[in-house]
Structure 1
Amino acid sequence: MASIGQTVSPTSGSDALARARSRAALVPDCLVEAKRIANTVIAGWHGRRKRGIGENFWQFRPYTDGESLSRIDWRRSARDDHTYVRDREWEAAHTIWLWADMSPSMLYKSSYAQVSKESRALVLMLALAEILARSGERIGCPGVMEPISARNASERLAAALMHNAPTDGLPETGMIRGWSDIVLIGDFLDDADRVMGRIDPLSRRGLRGHVVEVADPAEELFPYSGRTEFTDPETGAKLVAGRAESIREDYERAYLLRREHLGQSLRHIGWTFVSHRTDHLASEALVAIHMHLSGMPTSATHGGRR
């Protein structure tokens, strides 16, 4: 997906092979970081469990208008001034499909971030696999790994990524059957309507989706000034700005409108949207995604401008 930037260039066949080898070398370090972050996030949690028809107690949560009064736990509510509902755990195993964009624009890393968008996307995907696998979920990656239910799912996904990297652009999803969740992680810098054109069919098939936008801070803040050359890493097209600062306001407006349009379109079809910047902690995005997968309410944007 197209990106602004000055550090990446379009890929030829030999470039693509070099990128695949570079990614394979990157995956082990990303797996180590993913496990560290997952351990931090999961500490004190019960794993990914969702309120539903199970018999086991999960949690107390505040009562909300419109819920049945029969669900109120009056004994717990009597302890303070709030009214609480007793939630039970939904124990059915579930299939979660994870995908990270590996297109050339994801290589971008400005001086304002310590990691590339590609690295952060891989860490988020592997950390999610680690957390979800510990909760007994089935984990798959479209075109890379069939769904499996195993405690070492993150290691197996990492190995699959090293030998069978996902293709550029949104994944092929014809292999996905039945009611599932899919988490799409990328920069999503294409036109929002074009992105939705690929996502709408998935929604109509009953997939519950979660989109994670990974952004470099320079893409959002546009810190450029003076004569600056911008290169589209997908097409090689170039744009030279004599005074880059003169287009900053228009750029920021267009960038944020694209994000807002995408987020609203996704929420309209019942999907969730998280925006995450690579100069923020990966755990921030991971918590937000986990809460969406668990059916808990959370804000739509984390780690970026609202």
Structure 2
Amino acid sequence: MNTPVMLRSQGESLATHLPPLLAEAEHLAATVLLGDHGRRRAGVGDTFWQYRPAQSHDAARSIDWRRSARSDARFVQDKEWQIAQSVILWVDQGAAMGFASDDHATKADRARTLAMALAILLNRGGERVGLTGLRLPPRRGSAQLAQMAQILSESETGDHGSPDAEGMLPHSRALFVSDFLGNIDGVTAALTRAADRGVRGAMLQVLDPQEEAFPFDGRTIFQSMTGTVRHETLRARDLKTRYLDRLAARKDQLQQLARRTGWQFHSHHTGQPATQALLWLYGALERQR
């Protein structure tokens, strides 16, 4: 399993094959929801957007001490130009992503490396990157990349993860990376909520070549990575057509979901060069400007 240092190094190596993602000079939303405060026009420069609770990685100079003095918590101001240049990432850290056949990388390692490489390109281009949820809001800098690598090196206990729509800033951009083979309801809910807030982005499905080809024959035992699901058959070949039909249906479902929400969708397997997927991600987020 990749360590944070190895993951960062692999991401750096992959990112060197592409030019930096050009920073968006003006990627501003027409309107921004502010909860009970209604809507207001998006501004530029240092225009105030909202207060948010300070995180451990926020520098002391970024704390708004006047606002913080009114409560027991510390708060930071988010600026509208920061919202416009923010990209939020989600990488499925469920146990199912740990699957690998032959000498291929695990789906988890490929997904994490691609996400880190993209984050490096975005950071190099002057954009702010973060993770879904409230644990790592978007920021720039090497410290942010290091903390992202640390978090992405963790694993979840269930077979499949689900994105957290919290912390997805209105009119920012986002990337979801998963095999998308589990229950899709959580992904659908998060993506729909993101689209309702004007968030545009991309979904990258990462699969193993065996999951694409289903090369099984004769007696075969299929078991989930956590061991909670197990199925034994004496004639695996008889399942091939049905399995491939269901996989095609899931890809079509994801494609339709992306089309409805204005996102991009692409499927990639670990037998393909990682640079192909990174090039697609690079172009997909460029088209979402």
User: How does the TM-score come out when normalised to structure 1?
Assistant: 0.68
Q: What does residue 69 of structure 1 align with?
A: none
- C-alpha RMSD of matched pairs (Å): 2.7
The 1:166–1:135 alpha-carbon spacing in structure 2 relative to 1, beyond 3 Å, is: farther
- Matched ranges for 1:36-185 at <5 A: 36-42=13-19, 47-49=21-23, 94-111=85-102, 113-143=103-133, 144-151=135-142, 153-162=144-153, 169-185=161-177
User: Per the alignment, in what secondary structure is the counterpart of residue 258 of structure 1?
Assistant: helix
Asked whether the 8 Å contact 1:104–1:233 carries over to 2, the reply is yes
- Give the superposition deviation at 1:176: 2.6
Distance 1:51 1:264 in 2: 31
The 1:159–1:234 alpha-carbon spacing in structure 2 relative to 1, beyond 3 Å, is: closer
User: Per the alignment, in what secondary structure is the counterpart of residue 16 of structure 2?
Assistant: helix
Extract unaligned runs of 5+ from structure 1. 1-21, 55-90, 298-306
Cα deviation digits, residues 188-207 of structure 1 (max 9, x gap): 00255663234212211221
Distance 2:212 2:155 in 1: 28
Extract unaligned runs of 5+ from structure 2. 29-80
The 1:217–1:122 alpha-carbon spacing in structure 2 relative to 1, beyond 3 Å, is: same
Cα deviation digits, residues 12-45 of structure 1 (max 9, x gap): xxxxxxxxxx5xx533222111101100122xxx
Higher relative contact order (CA 8 A, sep 6+): 1
* Letter of the structure 1 residue corresponding to residue 96 of structure 2: S
Distance 1:280 1:52 in 2: 35
User: Per the alignment, in what secondary structure is the counterpart of residue 294 of structure 1?
Assistant: helix
Q: What does residue 19 of structure 1 align with?
A: none
| Percent identity (aligned) | 28
Asked whether the 8 Å contact 1:216–1:278 carries over to 2, the reply is yes
User: Per the alignment, in what secondary structure is the counterpart of residue 238 of structure 2?
Assistant: helix
Distance 1:41 1:115 in 2: 21
Q: What does residue 284 of structure 1 align with?
A: 276
User: How does the TM-score come out when normalised to structure 2?
Assistant: 0.72
Asked whether the 8 Å contact 1:214–1:276 carries over to 2, the reply is yes
Q: What does residue 210 of structure 1 align with?
A: 202
Q: What does residue 75 of structure 2 align with?
A: none
User: Per the alignment, in what secondary structure is the counterpart of residue 146 of structure 1?
Assistant: coil
Q: 2:248 is matched with which residue: 229, 244, 256? A: 256
Cα deviation digits, residues 229-261 of structure 1 (max 9, x gap): 101335612111111112111211111121112
Aligned length: 233
The 1:126–1:166 alpha-carbon spacing in structure 2 relative to 1, beyond 3 Å, is: farther
User: Per the alignment, in what secondary structure is the counterpart of residue 126 of structure 2?
Assistant: coil
Q: What does residue 40 of structure 2 align with?
A: none
- Give the superposition deviation at 1:118: 0.5
Distance 1:194 1:97 in 2: 17
